[in-house]
Structure formats: structure tokens, C-alpha cells
Structure 1
Amino acid sequence: MVKTRTSRMKIGIISDTHDDILNTNKAIDIFSQNNVSIVIHVGDFVAPPVVTEFKRLSKDGVKIIGVLGNNDGEEQGLKEEFEGINGELFKEIGKIKIDNLKFGIYHGTDAKKRQKMIDSKKFDVCIFGHTHQKENYVDEKTVIVLNPGTAHYPVKMNYTHDRYFGESTIMIFDTNDKTCLIYDL
């Protein structure tokens, strides 16, 4: 388990970039303007060049952490890009500790596995992606559940659900007061 400790930390949360370099850079700008210390990418980068864009943050000391999503077929290339930015890439599930909060990170492909993580009481904060729908709630067991939605630009679909690539959003979570702000891209 990765451990990071400071008195107050802002964590940028992004998911489902699906090769959208333009919106990825908009997100990086927002993270930079808000002085995040860590960025967590919850998977579906798709191709390695998306990861390289985060070098703007990592060269300024921001830790980049990610997990693989169901559309991340170039696992070796993604791993190499994470190494190139001094980031940390977990396979399916990441477990980290920041400011005495235990984080479980999973792309969220399997809804039962997702719920099992929430119900396990092993984590203070569970972060998911995959659904492209933002979520920010505390379950009955006081686990904070976050899903930043998709960072991919909105797309009008002809035959697929209209909201598949609907709103483009990211989040910033504050470990001090446990609040989460949602930002539109």
C-alpha cells in the first residue's frame, strides 16, 4: 500500500479519458490551478500518449497514480509511460493511504466487485470510473464513494445511449474536510 502524508492535500480525480488529449490537458490545467498534490486516474486511458500529458504535473512534484480500465489493452506501454513520469500504475485495484484515509481505486467494470469494495469497510474512500456518470455520496457505512464521470468530450451518438459520452467532468477531493468539487471540462 502506498502511503503519503501531509496536513492537507487536494487530490485530482479523472477517469475515462479514452484518448481525448484536449480534455485531458484541460483537466491538467484545472489540477494545476488548484494545486493538487496527487492525481488519481481511474482507468480507460486507452493509449499510452494520454499518460505522457501528465508529465506537466509530475515534473512539478505531483504524484500520478492510476489503475487499468477495461479499454486499456496496451498495458506494457501504459506501464512504461507511468515509469517515465515517476507515476504508479496498479493493475485492476489500487490501495493507497493518504492523510490517514484508506483509498480503494477500481475502474468499476464489475458492479458486484464495486459494491463489495464499498461494503468491505476496508476503505474510507472508494473511487470508481467506467460508468461515465459522476457520483459523490457517502453510503450508509460512511464510505465516501466518488466517480468523476468521463473526461472525454461530449459526443452525439446515433445508436448508443445519448449519455455515453455526455458531460465531461473531473473532481478534486480535499482530504482535510473530505469535500469533493466537480469541474466541467
Structure 2
Amino acid sequence: MTAPIRVGLISDTHGLLRPQVHEVFAGVDRILHAGDVCSDTILVELGLIAPTQAVYGNCDDPWDPSLREALDVEIGGLRIHVQHGHELGRPRPAQVAAAYEADVCVYGHTHKQVIERVDGRLVINPGAAGPRRFDLKPCVAILTIADGAASAELVELAY
């Protein structure tokens, strides 16, 4: 039995990193940002917490060398796909699962936090962590991988 791996999931910061993110992500092994970063300082600040990788969203510069179109990583033996979601319109979990082959699919764009199992795979939108929009509470997620299984929890942020 190996120690669980904890991954901070964040999206749609839109140039604002709330101080509470440092507390929520304290001790995570890495951070995956699902786009609409909108500031060079966001990734630098997240990098102070844990190694960070990010994809670009529809509000980001697709030519920014610190952002990728998509991430396909393996963590704890599971395949994880991260993409912003705007490439699918206004996606729902079933649509994301149908579009990408991975054990865990992470997306943003809609600002609506959700964790859903689709055909045994985990689909996560951590919500929008940046400025409050659409009357939704700011949110991030923690993905935990242990013994080849993934689980996740949403953590609402103060606003």
C-alpha cells in the first residue's frame, strides 16, 4: 500500500488567486490548472505551493509557453486528461468523458463545480477559483489517488 497522492485542481482564476488557496492546497503533491489563468503571477504563486502545470483557456494567450492546449499525465498509475472545456462548447461531464480517453478528466470553462462518475471514470470541474461570476461560489478541488483508485472533493472558497 502506497501513500495517497493529493493533487490540487484549480480553474478559471481569471487573474485572481485567493489567499485561501494556499491553505487548501497545503501539502498537495502537485497542482493542475484547467485554464483561464489570465496572469503570469498565478502560476508562479501556485508553484510556491507545489509543482504546477496548466492548460490555456479561451481567455488566455494560446501562444503563452507556460500553458499547453491539453495535459495528459499519469499519476499513481492513472491517466489524467486536463483541458479547459471551451473546445467542447459548454460541456457537461458525459460530454467530457466521451471526448477524452482517461481515467480522470478535468475541465473548467463553465465555472460550475462538479464531480461525477461516467462509465467508471471520474470527471471533475473544480469550478472557478477567481472573481465571483454567475452567482457561483469560488471553488477548487482535491484529487486523491490511492492504490490505483481516484476520488475527489470540492472545497468552496471564501468570497
TM superposition score normalised by structure 2 = 0.84
Give 1:19's aligned residue. 15
Unaligned runs of 5+ in 2: none
Post-superposition CA distance 1:64-121 (Å, at most 9, x none): 1111111112743x62xxxxxxxxx4x2111000011000111000326966651257
Q: One-letter code of the match for 1:136?
A: I
Partners of 1:70 and 1:120 in 2: CA distance: 18
As a proportion of its length, which structure holds more helix? 1
Q: SS of the counterpart of 1:49?
A: helix
Q: Is contact 1:127–1:145 with CA below 8 Å preserved after alignment?
A: yes
Q: Which has the larger radius of gyration?
A: 1
Q: One-letter code of the match for 2:31?
A: V
Give 1:170's aligned residue. 140
Partners of 2:48 and 2:6 in 1: CA distance: 17
> CA 1:144–1:47 in structure 2 vs 1: closer, same or farther (change >3 Å)?
same
- Superposed, 1:109-120 pairs within 5 Å as 109-111=86-88, 118-119=97-98
Partners of 2:51 and 2:61 in 1: CA distance: 23
2:77 aligned residue (55, 75, 100): 100
TM superposition score normalised by structure 1 = 0.73
Pairwise CA RMSD of aligned residues? Answer: 2.3
Give 1:28's aligned residue. 22
Give 2:123's aligned residue. 145
Give 2:59's aligned residue. 71
Partners of 2:108 and 2:150 in 1: CA distance: 19
Q: Is contact 2:7–2:143 with CA below 8 Å preserved after alignment?
A: yes
In the TM superposition, residue 122 of structure 1 has moved relative to its aligned partner by: 2.3
- The reply to whether residue 50 of structure 1 matches residue 42 of structure 2 is yes
Identical-residue share of aligned pairs (%): 24
Give 1:40's aligned residue. 32
Partners of 1:20 and 1:37 in 2: CA distance: 22
Give 1:129's aligned residue. 108
Count of aligned pairs: 152
Partners of 1:29 and 1:183 in 2: CA distance: 11
Q: SS of the counterpart of 1:27?
A: helix
In the TM superposition, residue 153 of structure 1 has moved relative to its aligned partner by: 3.3
Post-superposition CA distance 1:129-183 (Å, at most 9, x none): 00000010101x211100000001325xxxxxx43xx210000011015221111
Q: Is contact 1:153–1:167 with CA below 8 Å preserved after alignment?
A: no
